[in-house]
């Protein structure tokens, strides 16, 4: 029987028995169903009594970890007795029935090399082979035999692969300790936008998209499932072009089984109760329960798919708030009826049952901005007579945007290899490149440092962050890479934490360890230097006016006078499609909020946290829940959005903006104490090299009347 054709009887056999049997390696096929007999080694110390085999003890099932996935019989393969198990979304994968040490060679797989011309002429990219090819030299493709083609992808892999063009093989080596029951994964590409399938980890978020493919042609037309297993140094123009073409054809992603058949759709709503073992690094699908407010936020899993609704169509259906109602967004819908509705809600009577996905996001009004006037060219927006409608803005830079990006002497610990024999240089360098390839934290370091010490030239190469390895694991990876490195011992070394921004810094930092030179980019200091159009400034100014209104309204309700409004720039200001770094925002998404720490007697109800919460909720409601992201992450919280706030946010809120991936922030008043940007605390959270997102910050530099200033003023010791 074909592996993919287990009938129900096979599947229903005791999983425990099967796993135990595979560990034992001594049962015959009649006991283990479809399992292949494996005559090779067993893991030491894993002898399990016959009675356990027959009884299928729960304890053993637990230990095996992946038992929940083993709806079909685990399939012990290769001398390490690894198991081939089908995961509901990833298809077959390689699992460890026992822990494996770092540096273990899993397999050196032979490779069938298909040269570029054969690959292209045979249109092999469009066949199942396309999902299994490793980029090979000269644009060719290597089809890995053995286990090579069965490793699934993870952005946090535990197995490295090393290609050898001379022997046409790929060596798979663990570089972390692999726990019992864990899946062995490699990283197909550090740039996950190049993947041609929906990662199982993402399926929950994209369940709408995946389910929609159910209606597609069963032959797989319209699906696209191809592979380029690559590392940075092996991407050539040709493979990049191939990837682009694949992306275009990618209408929906779908895993295929090993025979290339489209697998039944993964993660249908009814599948969400499937239990995943804890030790498999896969997010547990959230099971929807109408009584849980948390789950309500995560979105209902039982909703059937509906056709995406365009914003213009849906906007006629959503309630249009009157311009006097500044805060019409009802957040009560996600609060169990027994709790009081939040004070900023005007919809406290709404029951939970009537909410959730059927509910449309109740958006605030768009900004009051005369697009036609400000963007017309004939006779042209001169702004004459409307000078009060636009102002200038000052750029608030973070440390990463200034030459002063922190302590120039600051260092971090890394592992290095030291040697004097020049013959080792090539291999040590190759290893360094291999092991550090994806590590952003080391990118600013030159890989090699040569120094004369005691009349001897000592060569040192970078290996990795001190915290990531211990000596035994590093040595085993080194030995697996090349036996010529096996006698060397990794040594800790201090290196600068960032590149040099000025020639002065080169001298200081390179004395510690040679670093790259990345001169500070020229960043405009204000909107004049930035060359902004009057129209854009008028749009931003309308945002500033809106937050002043919101803050005054909040004050009238007894709250702190802080206002927030979040929206995207009008499309007329978007750069050309495909412009580098541009993330097209979710059209029509906008929200306003204010600080409710007083009324809710809650120290964390800051205006920005309230706003992020609303945006998160709206993204789970119509029409936004039906919009498929154009780019990875473009549907994530504040990605691509501009946030206006009256007062410079505190450190906590600045971090919340960073985590929410906001595009830019406009504020009016700086805080002398505790602000998160460059003005108050000086932390410059908006642009730091040690944080993983940067956003622009601009301070309004126009006229605000004394009366308004006074009304929006409050104790500098209060952080907002």
Ligand X SMILES: C[S@@+](CC[C@H](N)C(=O)[O-])C[C@H]1O[C@@H](n2cnc3c(N)ncnc32)[C@H](O)[C@@H]1O
With respect to ligand X, which residue has the nearer C-beta, 53 or 148? 148
Q: Could you tell me which residues come within 8 angstroms of residue 28 by beta carbon, excluding any fewer than 6 positions away? A: 37
Contact status: 200 vs ligand X (CB under 6 A): yes
With respect to ligand X, which residue has the nearer C-beta, 189 or 686? 189
Contact status: 280 vs ligand X (CB under 6 A): no
Whose CA is closest to 143, among 151, 131, 152? Answer: 131
With respect to ligand X, which residue has the nearer C-beta, 11 or 410? 11
Binding residue for ligand X, selected from 56, 76, 91, 142, defined by CB under 6 A: 91
| Contact assessment for residue 131 and residue 148, using Cβ atoms and an 8 Å cutoff | no
With respect to ligand X, which residue has the nearer C-beta, 174 or 254? 254
The total of other beta-carbon atoms located within 10 Å of residue 103's CB is 21
Token code pair at residue 211: 């389910």
With respect to ligand X, which residue has the nearer C-beta, 267 or 461? 267
Q: Whole-number minimum distance, CB 64 to ligand X, in Å?
A: 20
Binding residue for ligand X, selected from 119, 132, 175, 369, defined by CB under 6 A: 132
Contact status: 182 vs ligand X (CB under 6 A): no
Contact status: 149 vs ligand X (CB under 6 A): yes
Rounded to whole angstroms, the Cα distance separating 296 from 334 reads 6
Q: Could you tell me which residues come within 8 angstroms of residue 454 by beta carbon, excluding any fewer than 6 positions away? A: none
Whose CA is closest to 41, among 23, 18, 27? Answer: 23
Stretch (H or E) spanning 50: helix 50-55
Binding residue for ligand X, selected from 89, 98, 107, 553, defined by CB under 6 A: 89
Q: Whole-number minimum distance, CB 362 to ligand X, in Å?
A: 36
Q: Is the bond leading into 623 cis (omega within 30 degrees of zero)?
A: yes
Rounded to whole angstroms, the Cα distance separating 211 from 710 reads 55
Q: What is the Cα 400 distance to its own chain's centre?
A: 22
Beta-strand relationship, 141-144 and 105-114: antiparallel
Q: Could you tell me which residues come within 8 angstroms of residue 63 by beta carbon, excluding any fewer than 6 positions away? A: 180, 181
| Contact assessment for residue 115 and residue 122, using Cβ atoms and an 8 Å cutoff | no
Q: Whole-number minimum distance, CB 467 to ligand X, in Å?
A: 26
With respect to ligand X, which residue has the nearer C-beta, 124 or 718? 124
With respect to ligand X, which residue has the nearer C-beta, 64 or 147? 147
Rounded to whole angstroms, the Cα distance separating 634 from 193 reads 12
Binding residue for ligand X, selected from 33, 65, 93, 97, defined by CB under 6 A: 93
The total of other beta-carbon atoms located within 10 Å of residue 343's CB is 15
Q: Whole-number minimum distance, CB 201 to ligand X, in Å?
A: 7
Find the binding residues for ligand X in span 210-239 (CB under 6 A): 225, 227
Helix or strand or coil: residue 323? coil
Binding residue for ligand X, selected from 153, 444, 537, 663, defined by CB under 6 A: 153
With respect to ligand X, which residue has the nearer C-beta, 201 or 418? 201
Q: Whole-number minimum distance, CB 94 to ligand X, in Å?
A: 9
Contact status: 75 vs ligand X (CB under 6 A): no
Token code pair at residue 521: 């980019």
Rounded to whole angstroms, the Cα distance separating 100 from 30 reads 29
Binding residue for ligand X, selected from 75, 83, 90, 568, defined by CB under 6 A: 90
Region from 5-13, 86-94, 96-104, 620-628 binding ligand X, contact rule CB under 6 A: 86-94
- Torsions phi, psi for 674 (to 5 deg): 70, 10
Contact status: 197 vs ligand X (CB under 6 A): yes
Find the binding residues for ligand X in span 289-318 (CB under 6 A): none
Token code pair at residue 304: 């059937």
Contact status: 561 vs ligand X (CB under 6 A): no
Contact status: 257 vs ligand X (CB under 6 A): yes
Find the binding residues for ligand X in span 99-128 (CB under 6 A): none
Region from 195-203, 589-597, 651-659, 711-719 binding ligand X, contact rule CB under 6 A: 195-203
Q: Which residue is nearest to ligand X (CB)?
A: 91
Contact status: 256 vs ligand X (CB under 6 A): yes
Contact positions vs ligand X (CB under 6 A): 89-93, 131-132, 149-150, 152-154, 197, 199-200, 225, 227, 255-258
């Amino acid at each position: 029987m074909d592996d993919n054709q287990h009938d129900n009887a096979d599947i229903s056999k005791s999983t425990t028995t099967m796993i135990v049997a595979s560990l034992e390696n001594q049962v015959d096929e009649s006991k283990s169903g479809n399992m292949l007999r494996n005559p090779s080694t067993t893991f030491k110390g894993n002898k399990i009594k016959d009675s356990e085999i027959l009884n299928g003890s729960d304890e053993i099932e637990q230990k095996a970890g992946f038992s929940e996935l083993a709806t079909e019989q685990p399939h012990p393969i290769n001398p390490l007795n690894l198991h081939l198990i089908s995961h509901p979304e990833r298809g077959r994968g390689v699992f460890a029935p026992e822990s494996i040490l770092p540096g273990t060679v899993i397999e050196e797989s032979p490779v069938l090399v298909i040269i570029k011309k054969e690959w292209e002429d045979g249109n092999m990219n469009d066949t199942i082979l396309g999902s299994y090819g490793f980029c090979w030299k000269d644009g060719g493709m290597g089809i890995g035999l053995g286990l090579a083609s069965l490793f699934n992808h993870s952005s946090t892999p535990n197995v490295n692969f090393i290609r050898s063009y001379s022997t046409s093989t790929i060596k798979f080596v663990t570089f972390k300790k692999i726990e019992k029951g864990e899946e062995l994964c490699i990283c197909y590409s550090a740039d996950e936008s190049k993947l041609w399938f929906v990662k199982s980890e993402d399926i929950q978020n994209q369940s709408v998209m995946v389910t929609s493919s159910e209606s597609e042609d069963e032959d797989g037309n319209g699906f696209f499932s191809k592979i380029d297993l690559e590392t940075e140094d092996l991407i050539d123009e040709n493979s990049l072009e191939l990837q682009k073409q694949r992306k275009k054809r990618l209408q929906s992603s779908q895993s295929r089984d090993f025979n290339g058949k489209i697998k039944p759709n993964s993660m249908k709503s009814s599948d969400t109760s499937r239990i995943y073992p804890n030790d498999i690094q896969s997010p547990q699908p959230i099971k929807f329960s109408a009584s849980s407010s948390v789950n309500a936020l995560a979105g209902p899993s039982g909703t059937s798919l509906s056709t995406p609704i365009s914003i213009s169509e849906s906007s006629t259906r959503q309630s249009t708030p009157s311009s006097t109602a500044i805060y019409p967004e009802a957040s009560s819908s996600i609060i169990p009826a027994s709790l009081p509705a939040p004070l900023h809600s005007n919809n406290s009577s709404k029951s939970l049952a009537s909410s959730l996905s059927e509910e449309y996001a109740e958006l605030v009004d768009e900004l009051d901005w005369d697009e036609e006037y400000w963007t017309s060219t004939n006779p042209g927006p001169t702004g004459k007579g409307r000078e009060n409608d636009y102002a200038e803005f000052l750029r608030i830079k973070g440390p990463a945007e200034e030459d002063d990006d922190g302590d120039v002497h600051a260092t971090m610990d890394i592992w290095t290899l030291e040697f004097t024999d020049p013959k080792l240089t090539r291999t040590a360098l190759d290893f360094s490149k291999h092991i550090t390839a994806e590590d952003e934290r080391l990118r600013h370091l030159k890989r090699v440092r040569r120094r004369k010490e005691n009349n001897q030239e000592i060569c040192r190469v970078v290996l990795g962050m001190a915290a990531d390895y211990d000596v035994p694991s590093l040595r085993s990876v080194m030995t697996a890479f090349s036996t010529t490195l096996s006698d060397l011992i990794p040594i800790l070394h201090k290196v600068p934490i960032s590149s040099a921004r000025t020639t002065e810094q080169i001298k200081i930092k390179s004395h510690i360890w040679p670093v790259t030179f990345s001169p500070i980019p020229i960043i405009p200091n204000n909107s004049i230097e930035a060359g902004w159009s009057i129209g854009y400034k008028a749009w931003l100014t309308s945002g500033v006016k809106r937050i002043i209104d919101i803050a005054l309204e909040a004050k009238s309700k007894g709250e702190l006078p802080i206002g927030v409004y979040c929206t995207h720039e009008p499309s007329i200001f978007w750069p050309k499609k495909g412009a580098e770094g541009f993330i097209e925002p979710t059209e029509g998404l906008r929200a306003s909020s204010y600080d409710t720490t007083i009324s809710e007697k809650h120290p964390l109800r800051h205006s920005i946290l309230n706003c992020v919460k609303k945006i998160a909720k709206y993204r789970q409601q119509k029409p936004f829940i039906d919009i498929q992201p154009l780019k990875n992450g473009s549907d994530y919280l504040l990605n691509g959005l501009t946030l206006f706030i009256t007062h410079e946010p505190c450190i906590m809120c600045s971090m919340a903006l960073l985590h929410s991936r906001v595009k830019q922030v406009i504020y009016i008043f700086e805080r002398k104490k505790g602000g998160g940007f460059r003005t108050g605390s000086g932390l410059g959270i908006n642009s730091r090299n040690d944080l993983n997102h940067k956003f622009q910050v601009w301070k309004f530099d126009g006229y605000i009347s004394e009366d308004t200033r006074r009304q929006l003023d409050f104790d500098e010791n209060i952080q907002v």
